[in-house]
A and B are shown apart, each in its own frame.
Chain A
Amino acid sequence: MNWSLFFGELVSGLTLGSIYALIALGYTMVYGILKLLNFAHGDVYMVGAFIGFFVLQWLGGPLTTAVTGWLAIAIMFVVAMLGCGALGVGIEIFAYRPLRNAPRIAPLISALGVSIFLQNSALLLWGPQFRSYDTFDLIGVKSYHIGRNFFISNIQIFTIAASFGLMAVLTWLVARTRTGKAMRATSFDREAAEMMGIRVDRVISFTFFVGSALAAAGGVMFGIVFGQIFSLMGFTAGLKGFTAAVVGGIGSIPGAMLGGFLIGLTEAFATGYLPGGSTYANLYVFALLIAMFLVRPSGLLGSPVIQKV
């Protein structure tokens, strides 16, 4: 067995998976609380990647930054997360809030509209061409190896660690804080939560803020790891993120993380090992999704929905 290929795919799968997991978290949180599939989420991720890019240019470009490397990266993350958080809240207020009591299909189509709007606005403003982050020199890429075959770069370590860090913060937020308690209550029963004095609209806005901020972090990470971003990157990534959320069991936060890593690993190993893998990796991910549904319709960690009439 070719261990160097195996470990190579493993590491790249984990890196990719951590980005998918960050996107999936936004989907799963919004779905858990509103039962809404937020199609625009992938495009929020794309906008996050672009905000990171422009912040880097504003700081003087990747080769001549005004501040030290890691500080520049930190500023990129913070600005992108705050900007996209605001974008997410805006989308919620204008596209979804008026449709709270509409038939289920209406907010979905509204979300589709927002997605196409964001995507083409990006195309209009920033053009279809690829933009390079060029942050490798800024960070100073080093590659570490364990044994003869296991290689990992400091960027990959950073990505995986940072996404685990964000997930830990999120878990703490949902499980331990008052706001998190309000979120769980709202997702359990919105009406009852409102009667208990929870300001449901505010909780929903907050959920959108957190979810979009996580997506933005994923976008910036993608730019740092893979170097190139473009205005149509949101769609496929959003689809993968949602697949991850569904595979993990939608509404479940650990499920989204698990699903993200599973999708990332599937994609990486399909690229490395399966016939036609480099072009058809997405086909294999799709096959996994279908198989998943046939075996466990509510996802790996999801609980089956009991419908009460």
Chain B
Amino acid sequence: MVGPNLEGGVPPGPGVVDQPRVGVDEWVANVDERREAQKGLTGLVRRAWEGVPPAGRLVILLGPFAIFPFFANEGNLYRYGLITVVYALLALGLNVVVGFAGLLDLGYVAFFGFGAYLYGIMASGHSGHHLQAEIAIPIAVVAAALVGLLLGLTSWRLLGDYLAIVTLFFLQAFVIFVNNANGGPSDFSYPFVGRVDLTGGANGLDQIDPLNFFGYHITTTKGYYFYTLISLALLMTMLYFVNKSRTGRAWRALREDPLAAEVMTMPVNRLKLLAFMFGAGTAGFTGTIFGAVQSGAFPGDYDVGLLITIYAIVILGGLGSIGGVVIGALVVNGAPELLRSSSNARFLFYGVLLLALLVAMRPWYRPVVVLLGTIAFGAVVRVVVAAAWPRGTAGHVQGGGAFGRALDHWVLIPTHVDRIAGWAYFVLILAALVLTLVRGWWRTIALIPTLYLASFVWENKLVEQVSGATRLILLGALLVVIMNVRPAGIFGTSRVEIV
């Protein structure tokens, strides 16, 4: 690295005037000017968005959610509506810890599970207690916040990565504990009470009561949906004010530079604990909803897979952006849910590829060249293979209507494909990596066989496991790509570093 402090004094050459030069005072000084200068659709949308008062923004973001139940059936309302809102709520809490205060908490999901299990212990047929929700929920939230406080204590001494690993280990410990605390022979024997079945072990804690406020039971999906949505709206409003408050400003100062914040006499340790408690409380609260909705708590639901999903939401929405979280939840939950059926997944896969091509490639004729090239390439490959290796075209695309039949005449579907598809996947990864290294027309040309290979791998391998491994593979790749392209998240504002 040639340090920015070296570049600072050198006047920019004629070719690099337009490049944002992070770390140069002039660039910092005219930040507003450049924002103003944003032309085209994005600039227009952005200015329009900034002109809307905060209450209006909330309505614009959550309004569609409020009318969604009147169009959706039960199953869709649960999968697309309720889960998205639950994720958004979870992501809001994480946003406080990671986005506002800058503490990398990888144990966050444990508090979500903690809320669900604690509510289950206080109100379920499994434990035999049936507390009212208006008592059980505050207890669960406060208890989660207290555990968050304990975990947060480690953040006094640990910085960034150390904290990440301790919290991740905490999550692991939580998962191991709930998987085994069923009062069986391998479990702990607690002082005074002996062996107790707390969590039902690997089978989960079942028969959790529906939420029951002062005798009024929430029983329908729609009821839970609105309850969660209202909680989300309240929390977003609250966070909006917290973000503007003294504490919010202090959190941001902490995120940008803990040392400087401390020198400015901010109570750094107390702020960290506060952020941890806030996040843990939110997660615990969401956990009580999730436990009641599922009428059970199962250890597999609170593992690293969910953690990655929530992180993807927060990052996609932009670290520290309140409204972005809702959009992130919509994308991250909506897209993989659509992936669950393989014909939907197919449309989504090709649609996203096409969109990415159109958005990322300039000028306009390049994506067209790539598209036509890929179609021609596929047709030629198909003819050659059909002549030389009949088994290579013997299989058929599963379902997919007219589009599926069209694909059938284009992509290779060999029989007994497992080993070949495995190697093809490996080659595809290599090809994608090579693609990032070449430039200009070479990239355009190399893209054609790569796209065909991607389609081959998708139809032969990935489509089998759309709801499991494929989903997470795509999420993982997405995280890496987003971090490479926009380190502050898609809707996040990049932080300005003055060196």
Whether B476 is near chain A, meaning CB under 8 Å from some CB there, is yes
Q: Which residue from chain A places its CB closest to the CB of B3 in the assembled complex?
A: A191
Of A116, A124, A242, which one neighbours B465 at CB under 8 angstroms? A124
A106→B472 CA distance, assembly (Å): 19
CB distance from A58 to the nearest CB of B (A): 13
Whether A196 is near chain B, meaning CB under 8 Å from some CB there, is no
User: Given contacts A121-B473, A282-B173, are A109 and B315 in contact (CB under 8 A)?
Assistant: yes
Report whether B479 and A116 are in contact in the complex, using a CB–CB cutoff of 8 Å: yes
Q: Which of B469-496 contact A (CB under 8 A)?
A: 469-470, 472-473, 475-480, 483-484, 487-488, 495
Q: Could you say which of A107, A113, A276, A278 has the most chain B C-beta atoms within 10 Å of its C-beta?
A: A113
Q: Which of A184-234 contact B (CB under 8 A)?
A: 190-191, 194, 200
A197→B360 CA distance, assembly (Å): 37
CB distance from B8 to the nearest CB of A (A): 14
CB distance from A237 to the nearest CB of B (A): 12
Whether A68 is near chain B, meaning CB under 8 Å from some CB there, is no
Report whether A110 and B165 are in contact in the complex, using a CB–CB cutoff of 8 Å: no
Q: Which residue from chain A places its CB closest to the CB of B426 in the assembled complex?
A: A125
Q: Could you say which of A117, A190, A236 has the most chain B C-beta atoms within 10 Å of its C-beta?
A: A117
Report whether B425 and A124 are in contact in the complex, using a CB–CB cutoff of 8 Å: yes
Whether A297 is near chain B, meaning CB under 8 Å from some CB there, is yes
Report whether B173 and A101 are in contact in the complex, using a CB–CB cutoff of 8 Å: no
Judged by DSSP, the binding face of B is helix
Interface bits B155-195 vs A (CB < 8 Å: 1, else 0): 00110111011101110110011001000001111000000
Report whether A113 and B188 are in contact in the complex, using a CB–CB cutoff of 8 Å: no
Report whether A125 and B176 are in contact in the complex, using a CB–CB cutoff of 8 Å: no
User: Given contacts A110-B483, A276-B187, are A117 and B157 in contact (CB under 8 A)?
Assistant: no
Whether A279 is near chain B, meaning CB under 8 Å from some CB there, is yes
Interface bits A118-138 vs B (CB < 8 Å: 1, else 0): 111101110000000000000
CB distance from B98 to the nearest CB of A (A): 7
Report whether A236 and B476 are in contact in the complex, using a CB–CB cutoff of 8 Å: no
Report whether B168 and A125 are in contact in the complex, using a CB–CB cutoff of 8 Å: no
Q: Which residue from chain B places its CB closest to the CB of A245 in the assembled complex?
A: B165
Report whether A117 and B176 are in contact in the complex, using a CB–CB cutoff of 8 Å: no
CB distance from A148 to the nearest CB of B (A): 30
Interface bits B1-34 vs A (CB < 8 Å: 1, else 0): 1111000000000000000001000000000000
Of B104, B154, B187, B422, which one neighbours A108 at CB under 8 angstroms? B104
Report whether B173 and A283 are in contact in the complex, using a CB–CB cutoff of 8 Å: yes
Whether A172 is near chain B, meaning CB under 8 Å from some CB there, is no
Whether B433 is near chain A, meaning CB under 8 Å from some CB there, is yes
Report whether A116 and B475 are in contact in the complex, using a CB–CB cutoff of 8 Å: yes
CB distance from B164 to the nearest CB of A (A): 6
User: Given contacts A109-B311, A109-B479, A280-B176, are A116 and B472 in contact (CB under 8 A)?
Assistant: yes
Q: Which of B407-436 contact A (CB under 8 A)?
A: 422, 425-426, 429, 433, 436
Of A37, A191, A275, A279, which one neighbours B161 at CB under 8 angstroms? A37
A191→B6 CA distance, assembly (Å): 11
Report whether B461 and A124 are in contact in the complex, using a CB–CB cutoff of 8 Å: yes
A307→B160 CA distance, assembly (Å): 14
Chain A residues in 8 Å Cβ range of B22:
101
The total of interchain contacts (Cβ-Cβ below 8 angstroms) comes to 160
Whether A140 is near chain B, meaning CB under 8 Å from some CB there, is no
User: Given contacts A37-B164, A94-B433, A105-B102, are A124 and B483 in contact (CB under 8 A)?
Assistant: no
Chain B residues in 8 Å Cβ range of A103:
487-488, 495, 497
Chain A interface residue count, CB cutoff 8 Å, equals 59
CB distance from A288 to the nearest CB of B (A): 10
Whether B332 is near chain A, meaning CB under 8 Å from some CB there, is no
Report whether B259 and A239 are in contact in the complex, using a CB–CB cutoff of 8 Å: no
Whether B239 is near chain A, meaning CB under 8 Å from some CB there, is no
Q: Which residue from chain A places its CB closest to the CB of B175 in the assembled complex?
A: A282
CB distance from A27 to the nearest CB of B (A): 10
CB distance from B112 to the nearest CB of A (A): 18
Report whether A239 and B478 are in contact in the complex, using a CB–CB cutoff of 8 Å: no
Report whether A242 and B425 are in contact in the complex, using a CB–CB cutoff of 8 Å: no
Whether B304 is near chain A, meaning CB under 8 Å from some CB there, is yes
Whether B462 is near chain A, meaning CB under 8 Å from some CB there, is yes
Q: Which of B442-482 contact A (CB under 8 A)?
A: 461-462, 465, 468-470, 472-473, 475-480
A114→B473 CA distance, assembly (Å): 9
Q: Which of B206-236 contact A (CB under 8 A)?
A: none
A13→B488 CA distance, assembly (Å): 43
Whether A70 is near chain B, meaning CB under 8 Å from some CB there, is no
Q: Could you say which of A105, A194, A278, A286 has the most chain B C-beta atoms within 10 Å of its C-beta?
A: A105
Q: Could you say which of A114, A120, A290 has the most chain B C-beta atoms within 10 Å of its C-beta?
A: A120
Chain B residues in 8 Å Cβ range of A181:
none
Chain A residues in 8 Å Cβ range of B169:
239, 243, 286, 289
Report whether B477 and A117 are in contact in the complex, using a CB–CB cutoff of 8 Å: yes
A37→B165 CA distance, assembly (Å): 9
Of B3, B170, B180, B476, which one neighbours A120 at CB under 8 angstroms? B476
Whether B335 is near chain A, meaning CB under 8 Å from some CB there, is no
Report whether B479 and A294 are in contact in the complex, using a CB–CB cutoff of 8 Å: no
A260→B380 CA distance, assembly (Å): 56
Whether B308 is near chain A, meaning CB under 8 Å from some CB there, is yes
A104→B176 CA distance, assembly (Å): 30
User: Given contacts A121-B425, A125-B425, A276-B187, are A31 and B3 in contact (CB under 8 A)?
Assistant: no
User: Given contacts A125-B422, A243-B169, are A190 and B1 in contact (CB under 8 A)?
Assistant: yes
Interface bits B255-278 vs A (CB < 8 Å: 1, else 0): 000010000000000000000000
Chain B residues in 8 Å Cβ range of A243:
165, 169
Of A113, A116, A118, A239, which one neighbours B165 at CB under 8 angstroms? A239
CB distance from A233 to the nearest CB of B (A): 14
Whether B319 is near chain A, meaning CB under 8 Å from some CB there, is yes
CB distance from A164 to the nearest CB of B (A): 26
A105→B104 CA distance, assembly (Å): 8
Report whether B189 and A275 are in contact in the complex, using a CB–CB cutoff of 8 Å: yes
Q: Could you say which of A121, A294, A297 has the most chain B C-beta atoms within 10 Å of its C-beta?
A: A121
Given A124-B470, A282-B172, 9 other A-B contacts at CB below 8 A? A95-B484, A108-B160, A110-B483, A116-B308, A191-B3, A276-B189, A286-B169, A286-B173, A289-B169
Q: Which 10 A-B pairs give the minimum distances between C-beta atoms?
A: A113-B479, A117-B476, A116-B476, A106-B487, A102-B487, A37-B161, A113-B480, A110-B483, A124-B469, A120-B472
25 A-B interface contacts by CB (under 8 A): A37-B164, A94-B433, A99-B483, A99-B487, A101-B22, A103-B495, A105-B98, A107-B483, A108-B160, A110-B483, A112-B476, A112-B479, A117-B477, A117-B480, A121-B425, A121-B429, A194-B2, A239-B169, A246-B165, A275-B189, A278-B186, A283-B177, A289-B169, A290-B154, A307-B259
Interface, chain A (partner B; CB < 8 A): 31, 35-37, 90, 94-95, 98-110, 112-121, 123-125, 190-191, 194, 200, 235-236, 239, 242-243, 246, 250, 275-276, 278-280, 282-283, 286, 289-290, 293-294, 297, 307, 309
